[in-house]
């Protein structure tokens, strides 16, 4: 049987390595005829490793799509930033270099402050509050993405963010001058307000950053702590539950529209299932990974009243500053969220 193959030529930026060019070409959507049925192959970059619950959820999402479409849409997941690095994923999807990808939502804060609403300390610090915030913000964020030729499929939160150090924290004073790993605008700002020195470090580089002295503290989830074997490079975890940042999966709008209607529906249905499954997995992840860290010698503690008071004041400051940046749209989002509380 003859297979009809569509060859796609992509522009290559000066300075790209042969490996990157090959990855970009491999990431293009290819259509071919298999047993008389047209199949579409999508490559999907994700930032996190295979042991991460986000990656596991996305791999199940890809399987669900393949099953629901009888193989007409096949999504190949490339984890750990192996195809495209985290900072480049959003624009790679927007430009059509890859049709679909995952990234942490707050990474887009510099282009639009609405995308960091889930990373304001103590605005939504448990799963019930985080879900209500997501319901209040989902439509407006989807509209912002649509203006950039992107379609939002689903979002899943990380476990609540805590503070990792090599010493006990009672009131925050000991964090002054400490080099603290940051991963978005909010974590940078929080580090600044704590008197720490923020340093951007991606998840795969965390152990090396600690080992080389680039950082000596971090704000992140129990999931990331356990997955990067935090007990190898620090000793304390304070379960401060600052915020629950979300990862989101986006698809290139043109690539989505090019799919048959039945395939579009199957993709959206699988996304809805993945979102629910991911939220449930995140909840389970919190307790499981905290226990793993405790079993491996990490001293796990709840924040003292002094520390909570200090962090809440910082949260109030960051909320006010976020509203200044987000303007009337931010206020409307915040009002919609508070009406749900």
Q: What average pLDDT does the segment 240-267 reach?
A: 98
Q: Which structural domain, as residue segments, surrounds residue 316?
A: 162-243+289-340
8-state DSSP, 231? G
pLDDT score recorded for residue 341: 74
Query: Dihedral sign, CA of 341, 145, 260, 247?
Result: negative
234 within domain boundaries: yes
Angle at the Cα of 13 from the Cα atoms of 9 and 14, rounded to 5 degrees: 130
Look at strands 217-220 and 100-104 and give their pairing: unpaired
CATH number of domain containing 172 = 3.40.190.170
19 within domain boundaries: no
The rounded mean pLDDT for the chain is 90
Pair of tokens at residue 116: 């960091």
Which strand (E) or helix (H) includes residue 189?
A: helix 185-194
213 within domain boundaries: yes
pLDDT score recorded for residue 31: 40
Q: What average pLDDT does the segment 272-277 reach?
A: 98
Spatial separation of the C-alpha atoms in residues 326 and 9, rounded to whole Å: 39
49 within domain boundaries: no
Spatial separation of the C-alpha atoms in residues 138 and 275, rounded to whole Å: 12
333 within domain boundaries: yes
314 within domain boundaries: yes
Q: Which residue has the higher pLDDT, 86 or 11?
A: 86
Q: Which residue has the higher pLDDT, 119 or 6?
A: 119
Number of structural domains found in the chain: 1
pLDDT above 70 as % of the chain: 89
52 within domain boundaries: no
315 within domain boundaries: yes
What's the pLDDT band for 37 if we cut at 50, 70, 90? low
pLDDT score recorded for residue 53: 96
């Amino acid at each position: 049987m003859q297979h009809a193959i569509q060859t796609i030529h992509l522009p290559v930026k000066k300075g790209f390595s042969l490996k990157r060019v090959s990855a970009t070409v491999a990431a293009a959507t290819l259509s071919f005829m298999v047993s008389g049925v047209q199949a579409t192959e999508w490559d999907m970059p994700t930032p996190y490793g295979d042991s991460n619950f986000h990656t596991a959820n996305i791999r199940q999402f890809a399987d669900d799509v393949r099953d629901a479409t009888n193989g007409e849409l096949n999504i190949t997941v490339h984890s750990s930033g192996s195809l495209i690095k985290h900072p480049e994923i959003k624009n790679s999807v927007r430009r059509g270099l890859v049709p679909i990808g995952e990234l942490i939502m707050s990474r887009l804060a510099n282009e639009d402050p609405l995308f960091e609403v889930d990373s304001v300390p103590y605005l939504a610090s448990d799963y019930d509050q985080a879900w209500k915030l997501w319901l209040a913000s989902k439509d407006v964020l989807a509209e912002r993405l649509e203006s950039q030729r992107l379609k939002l499929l689903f979002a899943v939160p990380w476990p609540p963010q805590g503070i990792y150090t090599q010493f006990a924290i009672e009131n925050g004073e000991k964090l002054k001058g400490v080099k603290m790993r940051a991963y978005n605008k909010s974590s940078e700002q929080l580090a600044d307000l704590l008197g720490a020195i923020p340093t951007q470090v991606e998840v795969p580089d965390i152990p090396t950053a600690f080992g080389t002295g680039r950082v000596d503290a971090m704000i992140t989830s129990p999931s990331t702590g356990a997955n990067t074997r935090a007990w190898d490079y620090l000793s304390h975890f304070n379960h401060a539950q600052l915020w629950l940042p979300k990862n989101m999966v986006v698809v290139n709008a043109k690539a989505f529209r090019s799919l048959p209607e039945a395939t579009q529906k199957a993709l959206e249905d699988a996304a809805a299932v993945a979102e629910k499954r991911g939220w449930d997995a995140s909840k389970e992840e919190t307790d499981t990974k905290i226990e793993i860290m405790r079993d491996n010698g990490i001293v796990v503690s709840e924040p003292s009243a002094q520390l909570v008071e200090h962090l809440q004041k910082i949260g109030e400051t960051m909320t006010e500053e976020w509203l200044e940046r987000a303007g009337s749209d931010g206020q409307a989002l915040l009002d919609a969220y508070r009406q749900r509380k």
